[in-house]
Amino acid sequence: MKSKNRRFLPLAIVFLAFSTAVPAAQAPDVSWATDQGELPLEQLRGKVVYLDFWASWCTPCRQSFPWMNELQARYAEQGLVVVGVNLDKDRVLVERFLAKYPAQFTVAYDPNGDSAASFAVKGMPSSYVIDRDGEIRLSHVGFREKDRDALEARIQEVLGR
C-alpha cells in the first residue's frame, strides 16, 4: 500500500461506522475532474446529492458500490445524483477497482485530497447527503450492510422535502 492516502487507513481498519444528522450547513464550494469534464458541486444545485469519498484500497468501499448503483437507479427520477469521489493518486489503481466494481454513477477524482479536506473527511468511505439547496443534511463514515436501510431512509426524507 504505497499511497499518500494512508492518513485514512486507521479509521478504515476500525470499521466504525456512524451517521450524523447535521444542522443545515452549506456544502463547500468544490469542483472535481470527471471523465466527462469538470464537475462543480454548484452545478448539482436543485438535485439531492449522495456524495461518497472512496479509495481503491478501502474494503467497505467495495461493498458500497453495488448499493450506490441501486440508489442511482432507484431515485434518479426523483432527483438523486450519486457522486463517488476517488482519492487515489494513482489512476491505475482506480481503473482496476472500477473494472471489478463498476460504477453506474458519476465518478470524480480528487488525487490531492482538496475536496476531502473541505468536507473534513474522517475515514473511508465518508458520505454526505446534500439537499437541493446545497445544504449538508447527513454525514456518515464507513459502510456496513446494516447501515443501508437507515441511510436510504434519510435519502428518501431529503428527496421528499
pTM of the model as a whole: 0.85
User: Considering Cα of 40, then 43, then 46, then 47, what sign does the dihedral take?
Assistant: negative
Domains in the chain, please, with CATH? 20-160 (3.40.30.10)
132-154: pLDDT as tens digits: 999 999 999 999 999 899 999 99
* Res 3 pLDDT > 50: no
Chain centroid to CA 135: 15
98-138: pLDDT as tens digits: 999 999 999 999 999 999 999 999 999 999 999 999 999 99
